[in-house]
């Protein structure tokens, strides 16, 4: 049994859970972090000395932390050749977009947009900075758009780990009450993701409790 520690409102946990859902992995998720606490216990720190979620333990194997490492492990162990390609050259084409989603796109969205617009009281928001951040994030969507014009998913015609790392950001981006530039190709891609059962279950999770 795959055990996962982390609250369902964490975007990093959502990436892991979406991967689990797409791959149909039997699992048990344990609420941890945020209002649930539990990350400062000796037992949890033995699994992740950083005291952060998510953490997984697959059977009796050693625990794994860091969502990118977790998702790559799950893809390698449980994914088929269309999700995480066996050929290292072809897999690198998927992995570069997965890394781009995890590092570049997430950094441009989570703190400068989501944190300010959702987790900061309205009277303390720097809306000019948010406007600049939205423009910066939109430029990244402009990088993804030509790929999505060429094929159904970010790295090809099948859903891959690249979509997990990038696509889970879009639920929050498109549901925050704010103005954003139009990107029809990206919007169509997001709409297609919302019709995937695993995305709907694990990513389209209310963030109401996170609001300031």
Q: What is the pLDDT at residue 135?
A: 98
Cβ atoms 55, 6 nearer than 8 A:
yes
| DSSP secondary structure letter of residue 115 | I
Q: What is the pLDDT at residue 138?
A: 98
Could you tell me if 94 and 188 lie in one domain?
Answer: yes
The answer to whether residue 211 sits within a structural domain is no
Could you tell me if 99 and 62 lie in one domain?
Answer: no
CA distance 32 to 10: 10
Q: What is the pLDDT at residue 166?
A: 98
The answer to whether residue 30 sits within a structural domain is yes
pLDDT in tens, 98-138: 999 999 999 999 999 999 999 999 999 999 999 999 999 99
Could you tell me if 97 and 160 lie in one domain?
Answer: yes
Task: Work out how many domains the chain is built from and give that number.
Answer: 2
**If you compute the radius of gyration of the chain from its CA atoms, what whole number of angstroms results?**
17
Percent of the chain with pLDDT over 70: 100
Q: What is the pLDDT at residue 29?
A: 98
Complete DSSP assignment for 47-97: H-TT--S-EEEETTSPPEESHHHHHHHHHHHH--TTTS-SSHHHHHHHHHH
The answer to whether residue 176 sits within a structural domain is yes
Q: Report residue 103 CA to chain centroid gap.
A: 11
Residues of the domain holding 6:
2-78
Q: What is the pLDDT at residue 72?
A: 98
Low-confidence residues of the chain: pLDDT under 70: none
Cβ atoms 49, 39 nearer than 8 A:
no
Could you tell me if 102 and 149 lie in one domain?
Answer: yes
Supply the pTM of this predicted model: 0.97
CA distance 139 to 162: 18
Cβ atoms 166, 100 nearer than 8 A:
yes
Cβ atoms 196, 17 nearer than 8 A:
no
The CATH number of residue 62's host domain is 3.40.30.10
Residue 78: burial class (beta carbons within 10 Å; 0-12, 13-18, 19+): middle
């Amino acid at each position: 049994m795959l055990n996962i520690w982390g609250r369902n409102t964490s975007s990093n946990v959502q990436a892991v859970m979406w991967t689990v859902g797409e791959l149909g992995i039997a699992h048990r998720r344990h609420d941890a972090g945020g209002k649930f606490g539990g990350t400062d216990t000796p037992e949890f720190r033995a699994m992740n000395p950083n005291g952060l979620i998510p953490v997984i333990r697959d059977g009796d194997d050693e625990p794994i932390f860091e969502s990118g490492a977790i998702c790559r492990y799950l893809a390698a162990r449980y994914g088929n050749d269309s999700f995480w390609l066996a050929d290292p050259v072809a897999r690198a084409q998927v992995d570069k977009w997965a890394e781009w989603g995890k590092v570049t796109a997430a950094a441009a969205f989570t703190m400068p947009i989501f944190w300010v617009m959702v987790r900061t009281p309205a009277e303390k928001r720097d809306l000019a900075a948010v406007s600049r951040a939205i423009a910066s994030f939109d430029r990244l969507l402009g990088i993804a758009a030509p790929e999505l014009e060429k094929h159904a998913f970010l790295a090809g015609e099948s859903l891959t780990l690249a979509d997990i790392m990038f696509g889970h950001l879009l639920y929050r981006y498109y549901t925050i009450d704010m103005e954003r530039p139009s990107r029809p190709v990206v919007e169509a891609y997001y709409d297609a993701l919302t019709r995937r059962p695993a995305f709907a279950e694990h990513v389209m999770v209310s963030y109401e409790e996170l609001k300031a």
